[in-house]
Copies of this chain bind each other. A is one copy, B any other.
């Protein structure tokens, strides 16, 4: 920190994203990207004419994109905010809704960014441990004063909770907001989007990075009541109104409209996940019951850090979190079938099973 860094954020402990290697040809199973390219409609939408059009600002309301998302979910456009990745949506939500008067509560093992945003905005955070088996019990959240953020399915475990659990939280206190981070919901989780019609204290955040193969376009979105979305827009227009570029607006819209391709890709990921999970178990791994596009797995022969390093040396990147409770595990993105076969073959050699 330089001498100019403000004391107001001197305890900010930034998020560490997964490695994004340059130039080396890894099998990349570390940041939950899709092995499939985006919809052909995305590629068609990004014409040379649109590249020349970059001289003009993007639409700050992202209307075309927002309309496509609203149409997909049968919501009104005023119920949708598009963001520069779902990280931006979540950062805005933390700022809009949390503060000294009502902090935010989240699990000890979950998306690592929640605690970072709390620090960034000076929001009191309450950490609720997952149970011994890494499951989240909403009973542990029922009587909290804080707003609640839950990743469902959770990361990096992949374990889901039913939307009926979220409903119980919503019912309990209508003055308390429940923010459900559904980054991985499209691979088999149960979305809370249908609950939006009933509950004004629900905000759902999703991303196009995983199930719609657009990690590199940076498009996420938040869904909620018109009032909540207006609040988020207030923060957006207080931070960076032109938050999504022209090409990503086009890409996101095209991806959203190609439902058949989305279903094909997510179905394929589920199939490959099942196959990989079976293989990992046959190699002696403990594999948490994931409904995501990743598997959280611990070997009975090698600890997590050693496994991560050994795989990296052999050209396969997975993610290892050097943190209490979860350091025996590695998080493995569900990639293309042939990449998973290479992974399993490599693990078999490594572990001598």
Which residues of A come within 8 Å of B, CB atoms?
1-9, 12-17, 20, 22, 28, 31, 33-38, 42-43, 46, 48, 51-61, 63, 84-85, 87-88, 91, 95-102, 116-117, 119-122, 147, 175, 177, 200-201, 209, 213-218, 225, 227-228, 230-231, 233-248, 251
Contacts and interface: CB of A to CB of B under 8 A. Distances in A.
Given A214-B54, A234-B1, A234-B12, A239 B22 contact: no
Nearest to A89: B240
B6 A97 contact: yes
Contacts of A240: 84-85, 87-88, 91
Contacts of A36: 55
A344 B176 CA distance: 57
Contacts of A6: 95-99, 101-102
A125 to B, nearest CB: 14
A280 B228 CA distance: 46
Instruction: Give chain A's interface secondary structure class.
Output: loop
A14 B238 contact: yes
Contact of A242 (B54, B120, B218, B234): B218
A60 to B, nearest CB: 5
Contact of A56 (B3, B8, B33): B33
Nearest to A94: B6
| Max chain B Cβ within 10 angstroms of own Cβ: one of A2, A59, A236, A243 | A2
Nearest to A59: B20
A6 B95 CA distance: 8
B238 A15 contact: yes
Nearest to A177: B4
A175 to B, nearest CB: 7
A14 B233 CA distance: 9
B42 A54 contact: yes
Contact of A239 (B120, B244, B245): B120
